[in-house]
Amino acid sequence: MKFKKNLFLILILWLFNGCTGTEYAKQESIFIVFKTPIFKYADLGFIYRSPERLKIELYSNAQAVMALKIGKEKICISLFECMDKKSFNKRVLSHYYPEDILMHIFREEKIFSGQNSIKTRNGFTQKLSRAGEYDINYQVFNKQIVFHDTINAIVIKVKRLK
């Protein structure tokens, strides 16, 4: 009888632990511009970081309007269903982009394996182009991220707020 009680208690604790969700190590308030041919957004939000995941919550008039969750294999956006990264890039960004480009952008990391990267005093810049596919100007500096692709009409700007 005592064994059954202990087993039941362990199962209940395990069940509640499984429902707690992902813990993020760092949270920052941001101003974000996220513009693609599919949608346009510019307002305040939060970025939550963990070693393996990112979550970006976007707000308008103090109401959460969109959540973007980036994991190891999938990207979930509240406007669409969860998709593998390749499908997300094809549908929302550009199918010419590497699968992890969004994770690298929001983590302020170099994209396209660091190709054409130039170190600056406060970060780095990358200019990448391939005729008819993309023309990217990407900068990380002073708590800001600027990603602009003129061919695919994509703009991602993130400014961390204090």
Q: pTM to 2 decimals? A: 0.82
Question: What's the confidence (pLDDT) of residue 125?
Answer: 98
Average pLDDT over every residue of 6-21:
48
Which residue, among 44, 42, 41, has the nearest Cα to 29 in the 3D structure?
Answer: 44
pLDDT at 62 over 80: no
Strand partners, 129: 135
pLDDT tens figures, 85-127: 999 999 999 999 999 999 999 999 999 999 999 999 999 999 9
pLDDT (mean) for 50-62:
88
| Cα 70 from Cα 103, distance rounded (Å) | 7
| Domain residue ranges in the chain | 21-109+143-160
